[in-house]
A and B are shown apart, each in its own frame.
Chain A
């Protein structure tokens, strides 16, 4: 039991030490790097968490995660179900999806901005575009792995298409969807920061650029810590949801 807390804490402490040592060594040649040291970062963090401005940035970023995820779910689940149900649809779309999936979502940025304008819309687009694949592929895999007898049961009840989808298929693949969501959240969180560096005026990505422009390097490091910590929490939340569903099901 103590090792479950002590070991991770030890790992984190060791990383902080390496960070401190690294900045100290590098600062000997480039004095400005001293501002990136852990002590300064944590001091800035202590100040920032009391600052409502930071919370606004966090809120904006989390809201973008939610919107991007919702779009990805709204597109990924129906498309995934269709891929799992219809052999024709799957055959027609699988190479296309594999192709699109391998393009870094950020490559679309110039086009997204040209089409959707500057602001939140291209960010939502990029996040949804990045997150849709794990959801779609997991959903489709879930459908193909469904217990055939459940579908037979639905047929023996003369279930309509809607009843089969909403009462059997979707609940039957919820675990798959949730593990897709967990992957999607991880991807969204990684894409979010660079996406927010392009043409928006709020959010954690923007905050990092802003800190750089203000030469507030400790703030920048603090923002990096916050991004890591929030990502950690988001992943835990997704994993908790997944476990909860598994225990029920």
Chain B
């Protein structure tokens, strides 16, 4: 690869070891039919995996099952080789809403949960250093004492990202983390995400509606469709970052994904 010199291009490619694997996982909410059925996938270490799909096809539900927030009705999820019974301490979540705790300042929000019983034991100094590093990385140095109410939507989502990074996650689950942001902020956050997860050596499962987001950040894209949902397509994306410099390749990939969406679902996801 003769990638242009840039922040992300010099970084290690995704590992080959498995961070998470799902083996024939099915799930139904109480009183509903199966939301998805027999889904198998792996997330490799340090890989950014995007899960695309139409509205209501079960992406968020799959993410919740993989994150250990819901128990699959069949099949098994393994995290770093171990069967997953509840959210793993080396995983972290970012949602569409930043969901900051309004009674804690930015620093304490980013630190929230690090001292919980089921988290790896750390001393207070280590936690402080980690939180500061995470806040610096997301560009919030100097805003540590601010209250959530004083932040813009983009800044709040940066705090939520810092809160996840402070836990030094092996795997970051992100469910449409940027879809509530304006286009400019979203673009900033997308490149920030790529940069920081590379620096933190974290893998990401990113659920999104937005094809452009997927092709800009993903190392691999999965398309989910059908009812019950299943993984119908997979595209590896080995375009070097920053990807805006390869518009022709991006457009080709984009058209492939659009075609797959058309052939699969009646409901084509909208994107800006």
Structural contact, B103 and A153, CB atoms closer than 8 A: no
**Min CB gap A175→B, angstroms:** 9
Structural contact, A153 and B69, CB atoms closer than 8 A: no
Structural contact, A152 and B116, CB atoms closer than 8 A: no
Distance A41 CA – B190 CA, assembled complex (angstroms): 73
Interface window among B9-17, B90-98, B227-235:
B90-98
Write out the residue numbers on chain B whose beta carbons fall within 8 Å of the beta carbon of A167: 112, 116
- B117 interfacial contact with A, CB 8 Å: yes
Interface window among A16-24, A50-58, A154-162:
A154-162
Structural contact, B119 and A157, CB atoms closer than 8 A: yes
- A78 interfacial contact with B, CB 8 Å: no
A157-B87, A248-B103 known; A152-B117 Cβ under 8 A: no
Closest to B67 in A: A156
- B147 interfacial contact with A, CB 8 Å: yes
Structural contact, B69 and A160, CB atoms closer than 8 A: no
**Min CB gap A196→B, angstroms:** 37
Structural contact, B87 and A158, CB atoms closer than 8 A: yes
Distance A70 CA – B85 CA, assembled complex (angstroms): 41
- A29 interfacial contact with B, CB 8 Å: no
Write out the residue numbers on chain B whose beta carbons fall within 8 Å of the beta carbon of A168: 101
Structural contact, B93 and A160, CB atoms closer than 8 A: no
**Interface residues on chain A, number (Cβ under 8 Å):** 21
A158-B89, A248-B147 known; A153-B116 Cβ under 8 A: no
Closest to A160 in B: B117
Write out the residue numbers on chain B whose beta carbons fall within 8 Å of the beta carbon of A152: 69, 93, 95, 99
**Min CB gap B101→A, angstroms:** 7
- Chain B residues touching A, range: 20 to 34
Binary per-residue interface labels of chain B (115-129) against chain A in the complex, 1 for a CB within 8 Å, 0 otherwise:
011110000000000
Distance A163 CA – B101 CA, assembled complex (angstroms): 14
Distance A163 CA – B114 CA, assembled complex (angstroms): 12
Distance A158 CA – B67 CA, assembled complex (angstroms): 11
**Min CB gap A62→B, angstroms:** 29
Contacting B at CB under 8 A, from A158-210, are 158-160, 163, 167-168, 171-172, 174
- A232 interfacial contact with B, CB 8 Å: no
Structural contact, A156 and B92, CB atoms closer than 8 A: yes
- B236 interfacial contact with A, CB 8 Å: no
Distance A150 CA – B113 CA, assembled complex (angstroms): 12
Structural contact, B118 and A157, CB atoms closer than 8 A: yes
Structural contact, A155 and B69, CB atoms closer than 8 A: yes
Structural contact, B101 and A156, CB atoms closer than 8 A: no
Closest to B118 in A: A158
Contacting A at CB under 8 A, from B136-169, are 147, 149
Write out the residue numbers on chain A whose beta carbons fall within 8 Å of the beta carbon of B116: 157-160, 163, 167
- A107 interfacial contact with B, CB 8 Å: no
Distance A167 CA – B119 CA, assembled complex (angstroms): 15
Distance A147 CA – B99 CA, assembled complex (angstroms): 8
Write out the residue numbers on chain B whose beta carbons fall within 8 Å of the beta carbon of A156: 67, 69, 87, 91-93
Write out the residue numbers on chain B whose beta carbons fall within 8 Å of the beta carbon of A150: 99, 101
Structural contact, B95 and A157, CB atoms closer than 8 A: no
Write out the residue numbers on chain B whose beta carbons fall within 8 Å of the beta carbon of A149: 95, 97, 99
Write out the residue numbers on chain A whose beta carbons fall within 8 Å of the beta carbon of B112: 153, 157, 167
Structural contact, A159 and B147, CB atoms closer than 8 A: no
Distance A172 CA – B148 CA, assembled complex (angstroms): 14
Cross-interface CB contact of A171 among B67, B97, B101, B147, cutoff 8 Å: B101
Write out the residue numbers on chain B whose beta carbons fall within 8 Å of the beta carbon of A5: none
Which of A149, A154, A156: most chain B CB closer than 10 A?
Answer: A156
- A249 interfacial contact with B, CB 8 Å: yes
Write out the residue numbers on chain B whose beta carbons fall within 8 Å of the beta carbon of A160: 116-118
Write out the residue numbers on chain B whose beta carbons fall within 8 Å of the beta carbon of A157: 87, 112-113, 116, 118-119
Structural contact, A174 and B103, CB atoms closer than 8 A: yes
Distance A150 CA – B69 CA, assembled complex (angstroms): 14
Closest to B86 in A: A158
Contacting A at CB under 8 A, from B71-106, are 86-87, 89, 91-93, 95, 97, 99, 101-103
**Min CB gap B157→A, angstroms:** 13
Binary per-residue interface labels of chain A (123-156) against chain B in the complex, 1 for a CB within 8 Å, 0 otherwise:
0000000000000000000000001011011111
Write out the residue numbers on chain A whose beta carbons fall within 8 Å of the beta carbon of B92: 156
Structural contact, B87 and A172, CB atoms closer than 8 A: no
Distance A149 CA – B69 CA, assembled complex (angstroms): 12
Closest to A248 in B: B103
Distance A249 CA – B109 CA, assembled complex (angstroms): 12
- CB-defined A-B contacts under 8 Å, sample of 7: A149-B95, A152-B69, A155-B69, A156-B92, A158-B116, A159-B113, A249-B102
Contacts A150-B99, A152-B95, A155-B87 aside, 4 further interface pairs with beta carbons under 8 A come to: A150-B101, A157-B113, A158-B118, A249-B147
Please give me the 6 A-B residue pairs with the lowest Cβ-Cβ distance, nearest first.
A149-B99, A158-B118, A157-B113, A249-B102, A249-B103, A156-B93
